[in-house]
A and B are shown apart, each in its own frame.
Chain A
Amino acid sequence: MIYKVSYVVIGGDRRGAVINQDYAPEVGAQVELGDQVCEIVEVQELVPPMGDFAYLHVTCRPAAQPPAESTASGE
């Protein structure tokens, strides 16, 4: 399954991101959005899956510390 994820950042510099990834985002995990590290606080399905794609909306907030391991940096 490919997860098309919309990340919305609460607070911080107010940037969000859209990224395709091959794993589901989870609450509490950290994600790198540009130069910002964020912690996921909510995951919701935006629309039903279609084919191999799931469409998710994730709310996150700036993390207090760097991630322990790489997540969705896209690099």
Chain B
Amino acid sequence: MHKGYLCLILHGHLPYVRHPEHEDFLEEDWLYEAITETYIPLILIFEKLVEEKIDFRLTITLSPTLVSMLCDHLLQERYLRHINKLIELAHREIERNSWQPHFQSLAIMYLNQFCKARETFEKYNRNLTLAFKKFQDLGKIEIITSTATHGYLPLMEICRESVRAQVKVAVSHYQSIFGKKPKGIWLPECGYQPGQDEILKEAGLKYFFADSHGVLHGTPRPKYGVFAPVYCKGTGVACFGRDLESSKQVWSSIEGYPGDYNYREFYRDIGFDLEYDYIRPYIHPDGVRINTGIKYHRITGTTDHKEPYIPEWAREKAAEHAGNFMFNRQKQIECLCDFMHKKPIIVSPYDAELFGHWWYEGVMWLDFLIRKIVFDQDEIRLITASQYLEENPRNQVITPSLSSWGWKGYSEMWLQGANDWIYRHLHTASERMAELVKIFPNTDGLLKRALNQALRELLLAQSSDWAFIMGTGTHTSYAVRRTKEHLLRFTRLYEDIKSNSIDQDWLAEIEYKDNIFPEIDYRVHQ
């Protein structure tokens, strides 16, 4: 009889990057890389598990912007173009490495991976959300949503209307894609502001996740720490706190699994290593070197010297680490059972992109972990948050603390010198949007289109990704530009709407460029 549960969550999110006005756009690569290295490998292991009739439970966030991009025809086409290029490159690499048999075998490994990716992509009609939906309908995974454009809610507290819009647009969008309402939500960056659970409740959401101190520093003190969910006082929305121990084992760049010397080295990509003229067709058209995804070396050690990657060693390590992770969770559960009068749940969320993209062997590790949990022991069971609540409906009531899983645990990542300037503009835009909704409670035709587009621009400007990128200090120009562009478009729409002089051509142009959430209703912003 199992003693406790493990709730694994993979958080899949990318900001909305779609530039139809350009043939080739650097930042769109984030999506293509994630598809090839994370989403498709995950789908492949799920397929196999289902085929072998192995029962598993995972929670997966697919943010509305990510879902929108996966469903978009233009980006789907561009992905095919991208993967075809990679296949071509892999072929050339196989030839180029004719006298280096070890590297040649790695090139063959990549060729197989890319061909499988293309095959899988076509199999699901180029729309990977159909794959995830399939596994959800089979009861193996639970897909939860995030806010519409991954807006960081604690810094929108001054304009609750925007918080409401971010949540409600996400829920409607989820419903239109997956055919039912989402039960849970992944708050962007786990950013929880006390009181905002009211809005989650309004939208019909039953639970969310917070970082450990969000629960542990809650009032009153949670009796079971993060090892059981708590209900938010006043609303009854459940809050699950992250377990730090299981997080550290995977996330930590120094102590965690991904740093093992046998794993693939991320920073030795042929896009940077190889001779310029050879690699030129496969990097950015502008001539800037980028990652291709083909890497031949393993981490080896702390120095710059890197040895060739040996897949068999890496695979063995992944299996060993999966066993180790499971063993540690078993020990954790055993200890907890001594103190708790109910079955403990260990909540382990990770960014989906960690698996496969940053940590190449991550997906393999996950596969090993699931199989080991199912076959090699019976103390812990995989579970989703909804299931835990159904089995254990009685939980403590507290008010969780303001918190995030970002740098330093609060809002500093998005509120610092590099990005604090955006808020006076975002907040003003929010107020103006609320004003427009009041002035125009019912409209149609051109005016309605303009109002809907205004909300789109506002939501896009609110993506926490822009503030985050500005905070990291790298590639900030793109983030700054996106913030300003969307705010300027919003402002112009606001002025045109108020002065009753909407420019049809210009509106059509930005509707085409910023085409997210086609079914949006501006009145949700109130």
Q: Bound pair: A and B?
A: no
Q: Which residues in B have some Cβ–Cβ distance to A below 8 Å? A: none
Q: Which residues in A have some Cβ–Cβ distance to B below 8 Å? A: none
